Amino acid sequence: MEQATQKKVMISGIQPSGDLHLGNYLGPLRHWPAMIEEFDCYFFLADLHTITVRQDPAMLRRRTLEQLASYIACGLDPEKCVLFVQSHVPAHSQLAWVLDCYTMFGELSRMTQFKDKSAKHADNINAGLFTYPALMAADILLYQPDFVPVGEDQKQHVEICRDIANRFNNIYGEVFKVPEPYIAKVGARIMSLNAPESKMSKSMPEGCVFLMEKPEDIMRKFKRAVTDSDTERCVRYAPAEKPGVSNLIQIYAAATGKSYEEVEREFDGQGYGKFKPAVGEAIVETLRPIREEAQRLLTDKTYLESVYRAGAEKADYVANKTLRKVYKKVGFVAR
Ligand code: TRP
Q: Which helix (H) or strand (E) element contains residue 147?
A: strand 147-149
Q: What is the pTM of this model?
A: 0.90
123 CA to centre of own chain: 27
Tell me, yes or no, if 325 is annotated catalytic.
no
Does the pLDDT of residue 231 top 80, yes or no?
A: no
- Using CA atoms, how far residue 156 sits from 43, 49, 160, 180, 317, in Å, is 20, 16, 6, 12, 28
Tell me, yes or no, if 199 is annotated catalytic.
yes
Tell me, yes or no, if 329 is annotated catalytic.
no
Question: Which of 161, 158, 156 has the alpha carbon at shortest distance from 112?
Answer: 156
Q: Are 84 and 107 in contact (CB under 8 A)?
A: no
Q: Determine the distance separating the centroid of ligand 1 and the alpha carbon of 46, expressed in angstroms.
A: 7
- Using CA atoms, how far residue 3 sits from 38, 81, 297, in Å, is 11, 14, 30
- Using CA atoms, how far residue 280 sits from 9, 256, 276, 284, in Å, is 37, 12, 6, 6
Pairing of strands 9-14, 40-45: parallel
Q: Determine the distance separating the centroid of ligand 1 and the alpha carbon of 85, expressed in angstroms.
A: 13
Q: Are 279 and 222 in contact (CB under 8 A)?
A: yes
Residue 111: other Cβ atoms inside 10 A: 19
Task: Decide: 312 in ligand 1 pocket, CB within 6 A.
Answer: no
Does the pLDDT of residue 1 top 50, yes or no?
A: no
Q: How confident is the model at residue 187 (pLDDT cuts 50, 70, 90)?
A: low
* pLDDT tens-place string over residues 41-71: 999 999 999 999 999 999 999 999 999 999 9
Dist. CA 121–CA 222, nearest whole Å:
32
Tell which atom from ligand 1 comes closest to the C-alpha of 46: 7
Q: Please tell me which residue in 7, 177, 202, 325 is annotated as part of the active site.
A: 202
- The predicted model gives 137-162 an average pLDDT of 94
| CA max distance for the chain | 75
Supply the residue whose CA is at minimum distance from atom 11 of ligand 1: 13
Q: Determine the distance separating the centroid of ligand 1 and the alpha carbon of 114, expressed in angstroms.
A: 14
Dist. CA 68–CA 83, nearest whole Å:
8
Task: Decide: 139 in ligand 1 pocket, CB within 6 A.
Answer: yes
Give alpha helix (H) positions in the chain. Answer: 22-26, 32-38, 47-50, 57-73, 91-100, 105-109, 112-120, 127-141, 155-172, 215-223, 243-256, 260-266, 271-298, 301-330
Query: What are the beta bridge partners of residue 13?
Result: 44
Q: Please tell me which residue in 117, 221, 242, 276 is annotated as part of the active site.
A: 117
Q: Are 241 and 228 in contact (CB under 8 A)?
A: yes
Q: Are 114 and 129 in contact (CB under 8 A)?
A: yes
Q: Are 139 and 44 in contact (CB under 8 A)?
A: yes
* pLDDT tens-place string over residues 210-220: 999 999 999 99
Q: How confident is the model at residue 223 (pLDDT cuts 50, 70, 90)?
A: very high
Predicted local distance difference test score (pLDDT) of residue 5: 58
Residue 181 dihedral angles phi and psi, to the nearest 5°? -70, 150
Domains and CATH numbers, the chain: 9-188+301-330 (3.40.50.620), 205-295 (1.10.240.10)
